[in-house]
Amino acid sequence: MPRYRLTVEYDGGPYRGFQAQAALPTVQGEIERAVKAFCGQTLRIHAAGRTDTGVHAAGQVIHLDLDKDWPAVTVMRAINAHLMPAPIAILDARQVSDAFHARFSAVGRRYLFRILNRPGPPALERGKVWHVKAPLDAEAMDHAAQVLVGLHDFTTFRDAACQSKSPVKTLDEARVERQGEILAVTFAARSFLHRQVRSMVGSLAEVGRGAWTADDLAAALAAADRAACGPVAPPQGLSLMAVDYPADAV
């Protein structure tokens, strides 16, 4: 049974997250419906990450097993045709070995959170950014973000419903950069806790507003207590940008 690795882009706004749910619109449900329409096969796809309601993706990775050995380009084109007009697109498809797993073979994930920092609300980018009216100090946020880099107990930035076995994670990169009216907040790690990124962004915004210092953020991290977290940023500014795999994960 041939296995295919697909790179997927989607607007998470209309969906109740990635993971399939009975009677609710989800990204996984849409893709599985499109696959069935293409080849008649009912299956379950596997993803590198289960994004929450309203969260987007520019580089989500999934894998699926098909009964027939189709050319990868045919799989991509056919699924895209049956996804229309849903805001979901297959960007790349390739056949891989049975050893490849979209989630368990991954060695890195990169998220981008975009904050629109201006008095006026978004019109063209509504649903794609977090609108913060108050001026934010991007340099202060970037400086503070460095206390999060490394191996830490991230309990403070872990959602109460998180199912991860351990709150200890290694954050490889944290960066805040102003790009005009947009603050681009980037995080990279092998894996993340449930709502970890949104929790960290919300606390960094407190630094940007001047309500917290870098020391306050460090203290919140050291507390290992969810109550020490700042307000959690909303989902619409968040996108899964890329998933990394070893060169031999084919």
CB 219 within 8 A of CB 228: yes
Examine the residue annotation and report whether 52 is marked as an active-site residue of this protein.
yes
Separation in Å, CA 9 to CA 2, 61, 117, 119, 168: 23, 9, 25, 30, 29
Q: Which amino acid is at 138?
A: A
Say how far apart CA 207 and CA 193 lie, in whole Å. Answer: 22
Catalytic, out of 52, 98, 137, 153: 52
Q: Which residues of 86-116 are buried (b: 16+ CB within 10 A; e: fewer)?
A: bbbebeebebbeeebbbeebbebbbbbbbbb
Confirm if 189 and 171 have CB atoms less than 8 A apart. yes
CA torsion, ordered 85, 72, 75, 57, to nearest 10 deg? -40
Residues annotated as part of the active site: 52
